[in-house]
Structure 1
Amino acid sequence: MQSPKARPAWPVFQALQGVTMAELGGDLIAGATLAAIAIPEQIATAQLGGLPPQLGFFAFIVAGLGFAAFGSSRRLSAGADSTITPIFAGSLAGMASVGSAHYLALAAALALLVGLILVLAGAFKMDWIADLLSRPVITGFLAGISIHIVISQAPAILGLSEGSGDVYHRLARLWAEAGGVNPAAVAIGLGVFATILLGERVSARIPSALAALVAATLACGALGADRLGVRLLGAVPAGVPAPALPAIVFDDLPRLFGLAVLIALVVMMQTAVTSRSFAGEDGDPDIGRDYVGLGVANALSGLAGAFPVNASPPRTAAVAESGGRSQVAGLTAVLAVLLLAAFGTKVLAAIPVAALGGVLLFVAQRIFHVGELRELWGRTRAEFGLALLTMALIAALPIQTGVAIGVFLSLAHGVFTVTRAQPIPFERMPGSTVWWPASPHATGETETGVLVTGFQAPLSFLNAHDFRRGLLSAIEEGRGRLRLVVLEASSVVEIDFTASAALIEVIGKARAAGMDFAVARLESVRARAAFDRLGIAEALGADHIFPSVEQAIRTLARD
């Protein structure tokens, strides 16, 4: 019986395809929940970036529309995000005065550049880029970002004047003004933090951040913000996004490009993690298309005069847990925020700034994954050290520098794991024809006059020297005793030119020492093609490549 013909994918709004009336109610409820969670987060994140609060709304509105139109994930929520905001805010502050027209234009231009990079990454199927950051580096990166958030929001929560500059200037100013801490602001900030934390632990569907902001606003109104000495958010202009190119000069673009690449890399990583984590029954997500969706979202955010946006794992989780099944939920939240931005901003003026600091304090603790650090400490001290070093670099250096070094550390760690590979002896499992790496947990058998060895990594210039040295040492030790050397190659998935030269040399040395040489279980299609392309098969002989170790031994060592 033939399966029904699949419907062609829609060129836009693919994540709305197949929505049924039965699912619509759940999507609408999830959208209302998402709006209640997003509203305080978008205001707070804009404040974190030194940007007007209404730009947080604009970013969420256009990002939601852009991703719903061009992304593939049915649940992912895009918008202003506290992971990337400290990165670009610190960098842009070195190029223009925070809050100035030039600063706002730079933020918008940065969003356009990030959008362009993401669209290109999606169009060229570069989803592998998301895997360049290892889990320990990601854990350390997020922990470092959380430290920056806490330091940047400390003045708001403590009721002190707003700080600026790098982390050291901010800490010095906090120390100098420590005697002026406002107890009322502290109570509001920590009260909002505790309320959100409690609500999150009860259920992610509870809009505890919105409830906490409302409660803090009402309390300040009843007790008198002036009497308490508490700063308020102030007037928020009403309006809706209007497309326009940011007013920057050409000389700004080279200074923004490197930052845009870093931001795009972080967005790719977080988007891939979010899409894969909340794919549900939809199967493997199309990460490339999600990059395009976030690229369009960023481009629209730049045209709206806002700033770079990102996928949000917590908001996406709220959509999933609230019963959301499609981007109808995201579009519902977009409509709610659009109405607030257009007609309801007057109600925002009385929000205490300390309350917004409490929201961001909660975000900071949520991305500081203590459990992950504890697990790394218990399982692998070296990778725990890598996470700790990344956290320290992000916290101590300008964030963009720390991120760049973190990426380098992740790549260096990956290279290190490949270079650690060494040739290892194989043994036959008793009563079988299976050859397995020698292990202290099982006693295996060997074949007289035969050395079976394996190499459990791609063969490349990174490890070719150790591969060559290990096998030549084994050949020298077996001179006069060995008749056959078999390379078990099931884990060799790729071979480059440098490694091919090393392998050809080993084959020649073995034969010069009176030994035959064979390769068994060369399963990788790429590695087998490299054998032909790089001359290994010619040097070895096509009749010396076998599907199993046992067949190689039967053919060459038992004649």
Structure 2
Amino acid sequence: MPSPHPSTPNLLRRLMPGAAALLAYRRADLAADVRAGSAVAAVAIPVGVAYAQLAGFSPALGLYASLLPLIAYALFGTSRQLVVGPDAATCAMVAGTLATLGAVDADTRLALSALLSLFAGLLLIGASRLHLGALADFLSRPILLGFLNGVALNILLGQGGCLIGIELSAHDALHRVSELTRGLGHANLPTLLLALATFALLRLTARHAPRLPAALLALIGATLATRFAGLEALGVKTLGEVAAGLPTLRLDLAVVPGLELGKLASAAGGVALISYCNAIVIARSFAARGGYEVDADLELRALGAANIASALSGSFAVSAADSRTAVAEHAGARTQMTSIVAALWVALCLISLTPLLALVPTVALAVILVDAALSLLDTRGVRELGRLSRHEMWLSLATTAGVLGTGVLEGIAVALALSLLRFIHAMARPEDEVLGQIDGVPGFHDTGRHPDARQTPGVLIYRFNAPLVFFNAPTFSHRLLAACHSRPGLSTVILDMMPVSRLDATGRYTLDEVAQRLDAQGIRLVIAGRRTELLQWQAAHLSQFWAQEDRLFPTVKQALKACTGQDKTAMTLSDS
């Protein structure tokens, strides 16, 4: 894709990078983008309708969320392939928020969902202004994996009733399982058989004809079967009337109480965070495959613009759509024009094809949601985590349990709390090492991992692999003194300070105290690395303990030579 034309105003390139790129559009890319956009629309239309059902809205709202947001992202985004729209996690969060707020009547639900999308969009744009694109790194992969697994299981349980033709009233996972178990005896057989046939068609098409729009074909097949086999008379439900026409730009605040606005604003933070984390991971993945980069801060703004566009359409929050993005790439999408073409197809559907949507059986939409949830469910990732780190695997499973036990919205708080606890634990209890030398291998090595590493008699070389700050200083002191007590006959401790990237006041006082305690036992503590910082500390009269420069060395190697009498000019920097 070419760079924007030099005459394009710099302000436009900064504010609307997608629009700037479209101004330099090459006609040679049009055929590929039209094909890709048509393929995206073939998936986006049935999926948008299905996700509207998941969030508890009319089918038209799913199409609204697949129209203006696509155009907004195409103008503001930096990814060439990313497609935005309704997605499983965001829709489940919207449904969970509305359930928490107790919204019952349709007008209130519509107003609340639009405002939730608006607040999420404004938060995303505000985060972009503050250059908070790094927020995507806050949720660790294991915790994000656990959260999405919880969302997937929630969707599977929520659609279970529709698959067998019964109504579910429970909102939490445990009661849904109980209700499904009791309702099996009242299942509608034609509905269940249609669900199985639709799922089989969906999977077979995806496996054997991946270029075809599997979701659209499955929807058409289920609709034809319902129409010509007279399944409606046997209890198979259809969508019924679908509102025709393009969305009207509006924002209704009158039906929303002030108290609910505050709750919505709070919930919007979680929606914005998860929506952005999902989008930036997908955008970066496809950009890496395409050989270009995306701007994390500009992606915040683009996703915010897409959510505001959805709010003004009277619809619900959106995020990146991984399946539709994969379809776009597979179909040969070259530029953001793909999203424009897909949006035009959605608009055409709203204008002239809604009578056909009215015939669609609701169980077919449930099958599409179940298929999406199964693709979201990553049990292999959990098993891989178990092989890499059982601790992180349990964190992931705890996040999943939190989502299932408390709901999707509260599950965000669980995920954030676990992320914070994981960070604190990693910093407060970091790894440490007692170092030794291996014959024929340069450098110093952890004796725990290398039992053949040789330690110098009378000398302990210790490494603390974290910043030395207030919340881990007691751990540092305890571990270093314990390591010294395990080595009788010590005369010197060499502390490798290179991994200690930060030393706050508590850490410095702790370092002083440890050195004084060791001195009282006849053991001299010397420092290897960070020599300049410690000299500046001493020069500022914050500590006189390190005034003796023979305690400070540039490297462990030089400190060891000086302590063993191998180097009489240890304080020169030539051996660093």
Shared fold by TM > 0.5?
yes
Distance 1:429 1:183, change over 3 A: same
2:290 is the alignment partner of 1:270: no
TM-score, with structure 1 as normaliser:
0.90
Distance 1:392 1:518, change over 3 A: same
How far apart, in 1, do the equivalents of 2:436 and 2:85 lie? 56
Q: Cα offset for 1:476?
A: 5.4
Instruction: Give, in whole Å, the separation in 1 of the partners of 2:490 and 2:400.
Output: 54
Deviation of the 1:96 alpha carbon: 3.8
Deviates more, 1:104-113 or 1:70-79: 70-79
CA contact (8 A) 2:94 2:316 kept: no
The Cα shift of 1:396 comes to 2.2
Q: Which residue of 1 aligns with 2:572?
A: none
The 1:172–1:97 alpha-carbon spacing in structure 2 relative to 1, beyond 3 Å, is: farther
3-state SS of 1:178 partner: helix
Stretches of structure 2 lacking an aligned partner (at least 5 in a row): 569-576
Residue 49 of structure 1, CA deviation: 0.5
Taking the aligned partners of 1:425 and 1:82, their CA distance within structure 2 comes to: 48
CA contact (8 A) 1:422 1:466 kept: no
Map of 1:251 onto structure 2: 259
Q: Match of 2:403?
A: 394
Q: Which of residues 120, 127, 132 in structure 1 aligns to 2:126?
A: 120
Q: Deviations over 1:142-161 (max 9, x none)?
A: 22111211222122211223
The 3 A distance-change label for structure 1 pair 163 and 440 is: closer
Decide whether aligned partners of structure 1 residues 443 and 475 sit closer, same or farther in structure 2, where only a CA change above 3 A counts: closer
1:324-363 to 2 correspondence within 5 Å?
Answer: 324-363=333-372
Q: Percent identity?
A: 32
What do residues 172-225 of structure 1 show as CA deviations (whole Å, max 9, x unaligned)? 544454333112211222222222223333465431000000111111111123
Cα drift, residue 513 of structure 1? 4.2
Query: 1:554 is aligned with what amino acid?
Result: K
User: Which whole-Å CA distance do the structure 1 matches of 2:538 and 2:514 have between them?
Assistant: 17
- 1:93–1:321 CA distance, 2 compared to 1 (3 A): same
The CA deviation string for residues 237-289 of structure 1, in whole angstroms up to 9 with x for no partner, is: 11212222232232221111221111112112212211221113443421111
Q: Where in structure 2 are the equivalents of 1:52-131 lying within 5 Å? A: 52-98=58-104, 100-131=106-137
Instruction: Return closer, same or farther for 1:486/1:273 CA change in 2, 3 Å cut-off.
Output: same
**Whole-angstrom CA distance in 1 between matches of 2:182 and 2:440:** 76
Q: Which residue of 1 aligns with 2:212?
A: 206
Q: Report the secondary structure of 1:350's partner residue.
A: coil
Change (3 A) 1:318 1:460: farther
> What amino acid maps onto 1:457 in structure 2?
A
Match of 2:452 in 1: 443
Query: Which whole-Å deviations, capped at 9, do the CAs of 1:56-98 have from their partners, x for residues lacking one?
Result: 1111112112212222122111111111211221221232444
Q: Does 2:269 match 1:261?
A: yes
Is the alpha carbon distance of 1:115 and 1:477 closer, same or farther for their aligned partners in structure 2, counting shifts above 3 Å? same
- Taking the aligned partners of 2:156 and 2:511, their CA distance within structure 1 comes to 54
Q: CA RMSD in A?
A: 2.9
CA distance in 1: counterparts of 2:96 and 2:60, whole angstroms: 20
Assess if the C-alpha contact under 8 Å between 2:90 and 2:271 holds in 1: yes
Hey, what does 1:548 align to over in structure 2? 555
Contact 2:143 2:396 in 1 (8 A): yes
Scaled by the length of structure 2, the TM-score of the pair is: 0.88
| CA–CA distance in structure 1, aligned partners of residues 163 and 540 of structure 2 | 64
How far apart in 2 are the matches of 1:310 and 1:25? 27
1:293 aligned to which of 282, 291, 302: 302
Closer, same or farther in 2 for the Cα pair 1:438/1:151, shift >3 Å?
A: same
**Does the 8 Å CA contact 2:43/2:216 hold for their aligned counterparts?**
yes
Deviation at 1:387, TM superposition (A): 2.3
CA distance in 2, matches of 1:431, 1:531: 38
Residue of 226, 234, 257 corresponding to 2:232: 226
Tell me the secondary structure at the aligned position of residue 332 of structure 1. helix
> Alpha-carbon deviation of 1:50?
0.5
Q: C-alpha deviations, 1:532-552, integer Å up to 9, x for none?
A: 899778653594544321122
Structure 1 partner of 2:573: none
Q: Does structure 2 conserve the Cα–Cα contact (< 8 Å) formed by 1:33 and 1:318? A: yes
* Partner-residue secondary structure (3-state), 1:434: strand
Residue 487 of structure 2 corresponds to residue 489 of structure 1: no
Aligned pair partner of 1:456 in 447, 455, 465: 465
Report the alpha carbon displacement of residue 492 of structure 1 after superposing the two structures with TM.
Answer: 2.1
Report whether the alignment pairs 1:10 with 2:19.
no
Structure 1 residue 40: Cα displacement? 0.8
Count of aligned residue pairs for this structure pair:
553
Deviations 1:446-492 (A, max 9, x none): 3344321111123233322110112233455668631x322212322
Contact 1:96 1:103 in 2 (8 A): no
8 Å contact 2:188–2:235 — kept in the other structure? yes
1:29 equivalent in structure 2: 35
- Show the counterpart of 2:514: 506
